[in-house]
Chain A
Amino acid sequence: SQQGEEDPQALSIQEGENATMNCSYKTSINNLQWYRQNSGRGLVHLILIRSNEREKHSGRLRVTLDTSKKSSSLLITASRAADTASYFCATPYTGGFKTIFGAGTRLFVKA
């Protein structure tokens, strides 16, 4: 079973609006990562947040992590049509090589 569950499953917004995606996970983690996947292509790493961090920024991306609730959110500000993609949270098992991906959120940004 997947470690992370994301919501919403799909999100459609207008260009310029903000997009927020949420991820929940089940076990203890030492970091959580977000990836983007354009249709039918490989995944691209966006940002990593460690368990001792609460918030992290990278350009138009803002990620928060609440370890007490076992949840994370990804905010994309001022979205662009090029942001249209699937977004996955990913959590590595502590001490292991295994990374589990959430179900993903499909984002559509309309021009």
Chain B
Amino acid sequence: DTEVTQTPKHLVMGMTNKKSLKCEQHMGHRAMYWYKQKAKKPPELMFVYSYEKLSINESVPSRFSPECPNSSLLNLHLHALQPEDSALYLCASSQGPFGLAGVSSYNEQFFGPGTRLTVL
């Protein structure tokens, strides 16, 4: 199974709502990522989890709260978002920067289809 799934596909929320995005993979990958992508722009890294621990937070506002309950799941909790947070949110996973041998820096990322978020 080489698929990363994301739910929901689309989400519309008000600025006072609390919602969560979910991501799941069953490839045994120990690194998982959240990206934000605006129209006609490249994905921008938000968070990286490695072995269920937060490794990188790219100075993301606290209204975005990531969570990694186990090695297969990644959540992004949303609260008090702003209209400018409307974007495509992509989840990805990879073996990490090092392969099983601990030498290679091969880190192809497998992406989910994304959640299209609209904040009203």
A interface residues (Cβ-Cβ under 8 A, vs B): 2, 30-31, 33, 35, 40-45, 48, 88, 92, 94-104, 106
| Contact of A42 with B113 in the complex, beta carbons under 8 Å | yes
A95 CB contacts on chain B under 8 angstroms: 97, 105
| Contact of A45 with B109 in the complex, beta carbons under 8 Å | yes
B interface residues (Cβ-Cβ under 8 A, vs A): 4, 31, 33, 40-43, 45, 48, 50, 55-56, 88, 90, 92, 96-97, 105-114, 116
A99 CB contacts on chain B under 8 angstroms: 45, 107, 109
Nearest CB on B from A99, distance (A) = 7
| Contact of B105 with A98 in the complex, beta carbons under 8 Å | no
Q: How far is the CA of A9 from the CA of B31 in the complex (A)?
A: 31
A100 CB contacts on chain B under 8 angstroms: 45
Instruction: With CB as the reference atom, state the residue of chain B lying closest to A30.
Output: B105
B55 CB contacts on chain A under 8 angstroms: 97
Q: How far is the CA of A41 from the CA of B92 in the complex (A)?
A: 12
The answer to whether A44 and B111 touch (CB under 8 A), given A95-B97, A96-B97, A97-B31, is yes
Known pairs A97-B33, A104-B42; list 10 more (Cβ under 8 Å).
A30-B105, A41-B113, A42-B112, A42-B114, A92-B97, A92-B107, A97-B31, A98-B48, A99-B109, A101-B43
The answer to whether A94 and B105 touch (CB under 8 A), given A42-B112, A43-B111, A88-B42, is yes
| Contact of B114 with A2 in the complex, beta carbons under 8 Å | no
In order of increasing CB-CB distance, the 10 nearest A-B pairs are A42-B111, A101-B42, A43-B111, A97-B48, A42-B113, A45-B108, A30-B105, A42-B112, A104-B42, A42-B114
Q: How far is the CA of A101 from the CA of B112 in the complex (A)?
A: 16
Q: Could you pull out 24 A-B pairs where Cβ atoms are within 8 angstroms?
A: A31-B105, A33-B108, A40-B88, A42-B92, A43-B111, A45-B110, A88-B42, A92-B97, A92-B105, A94-B105, A95-B105, A96-B56, A96-B97, A97-B31, A97-B33, A97-B50, A97-B55, A97-B96, A97-B107, A98-B45, A98-B48, A102-B42, A104-B41, A106-B40
